[in-house]
Structure 1
Amino acid sequence: MTRLVGYTRQLSPDLDPAPDISALTAAGVVRVFVDDQTTDPRKRPALTECLGFLEAGDVLVVPSAAHLSHTVTHFVSTVAALTARGVEFRSLTEPALCTAVDNAVNPAEVVAAEEGLRRRLVSLRTRAGMASAAAAGKRPGRPTVMTPEKVAMAVELRNLDRPITHIARVLGVSANSVQRALAPLPRHPDPAG
């Protein structure tokens, strides 16, 4: 008898896995395995338990391929291992990646779905890296050339009514850098303040 077994993982801290679990349950899944976002994507205990739970004739159902794997290589090797064990794979949002025998799909659709998976995984890793950097107090992007000392000097020169271009030349930076640094600051600080 074919069992539908579900797996999902929390892709980011702000995404609740409850809708994924509901979608899997609505698809007829008898048991859902869930890894939270804090779990290392290479060492997911719920996925390991899920893969051990599956038997020949079962179908592994996921909300999307990104929930199953952290890389396209991992996805391909996991689905190949499942197929070798007689377990089918089904994605609720990517029918081109399903391995059911009756799933006649154009090869171009499979390639497009894998490329979509690759882009989604890159996006998830980028967002996770940016969140990690923000938590560590780092800002993404190119570091500013305006050190606190240069900003203080720029404020002092601006309060002496020097033009932005003059300040930029003195500091050895671009006029745009000076304007960005001075934009949030009042031009003449209130001495009573």
Structure 2
Amino acid sequence: MNPNRLGVILYGPPASGKDTVTTALTELDPTYKQFARLKVGAGKSSGYRMGTAQQLHELEAAGDVIYANRRYGNTYAIDRPGIDTASAAGVPVVHLGQVDGIRALVDGYPADWSVVLVWCPREVTEQRSAGRGDRDTAARLAAWDATREDMDAHPGMFWDLTIDTTKASPQEAARLIGQLLAQRAGATTA
């Protein structure tokens, strides 16, 4: 762990509010920056660094892929050069939906990572996905199920903070995350 670097991991199923909470967090403090994972594939490009299979292969060959997963027919990667750039620019906020991704990032990149569970019930994911016009709501519900199974398979997973986005506003969630990081930063300097 590098106590001089802070990072936030928002873990949760699709449409749980990770993007909305991150927006509120960056409005609260602009040093927080959503980490744009490398995406190889098609579909939504906003919030990602679009790449090619060749770029991903080169990063893998150099040992610079911290974690990669496949979902919705695409590959999403957390790469060392990308996290280096994000850490130099502020506090990276990484969105994940897999416990293995959390472990890979916490174990594979030296920073003081705060892990936040951002949660909502399955029916809320369905409503939010349909409400925002997703064309793949069924795939997002399957991902919600996979996230729940992933959590159940790792009962000892420790969350630094849990936020139910059906109960906490994005601003309240951002305030709580800000408090958590302030406490952690204070603990590393004390």
Q: Which has the higher strand share?
A: 2
Larger Rg: 1
**TM-score normalized by the length of structure 2:** 0.31
**TM-score normalized by the length of structure 1:** 0.30
